[in-house]
Structure 1
Amino acid sequence: MLQTLPTTGYLRLSQIISQSEVTEEQAASNCKTGKGPKRARPGIPAVIPVSPATWWAGAKTGRFPKDIKPFGGNTTMWRVEDIRALLAQSGENAA
């Protein structure tokens, strides 16, 4: 199922390629082992179902939109308009 995109704004990579759900129990276990997400979080369905490596390689070659850092620092994001244009170009429905 395709996620509904906002009309305008910015998206983080997890909002584009998906984010797996982490339950309270998994988060507690991760705190003990020191591996994985330490907080519970909802799952986010993929708008563009590719791996992070594929996404970054595609962004580097121009297949996917170029990332921006609208707030400075290490916050990497993509413009919603660029993602909608990519979906329109590929024939997907950008809801």
Structure 2
Amino acid sequence: MATITSQLPEAGFLRIWHIVGNPKANPPIPALIPIGRTTFLNGVKDGIYPAPVRLGGPKARTVAWRVEDIRALIKSMGGDA
């Protein structure tokens, strides 16, 4: 059986719903890190979780997280690597 992180691409970006999941999506998106969206964003603000990058320039509203950063976070939390 494949591990969660082995299903991630080697490089690229993940939007927040790919990290914390979205059960209302069609099809539902499973969580990589089983916490709520607000908890994750508060952790980013507090420096617990990796900072996002802005896609499209410094004033862009679209943010995403590097796959490498999320993979390292999951590994540091004792998840599969």
Superposed CA offset, 1:17-62 (max 9, x none): 001244xxxxxxxxxxxxxxxxxx3211000011111001100111
The answer for unaligned runs of 5 or more in structure 2 is: none
Confirm whether residue 93 of structure 1 aligns to residue 80 of structure 2: yes
RMSD: 1.7
The answer for unaligned runs of 5 or more in structure 1 is: 23-40
2: CA distance, partners of 1:21 / 1:42: 8
Confirm whether residue 59 of structure 1 aligns to residue 44 of structure 2: yes
2: CA distance, partners of 1:13 / 1:89: 19
Structure ranking higher in strand proportion: 2
Contact 1:2 1:46 in 2 (8 A): no
**Percent sequence identity over matched residues?**
39
Deviation at 1:5, TM superposition (A): 1.2
1: CA distance, partners of 2:36 / 2:24: 16
Aligned residues: 76
TM-score normalised by structure 1 residue count: 0.71
Provide runs of 4+ in structure 1 moved above 6 Å.
none
TM-score normalised by structure 2 residue count: 0.82
Contact 1:2 1:45 in 2 (8 A): no
Residue 15 of structure 2 corresponds to 12
SS in 2 for 1:77: strand
Which amino acid in 2 is paired with 1:46? A
Structure ranking higher in helix proportion: 1
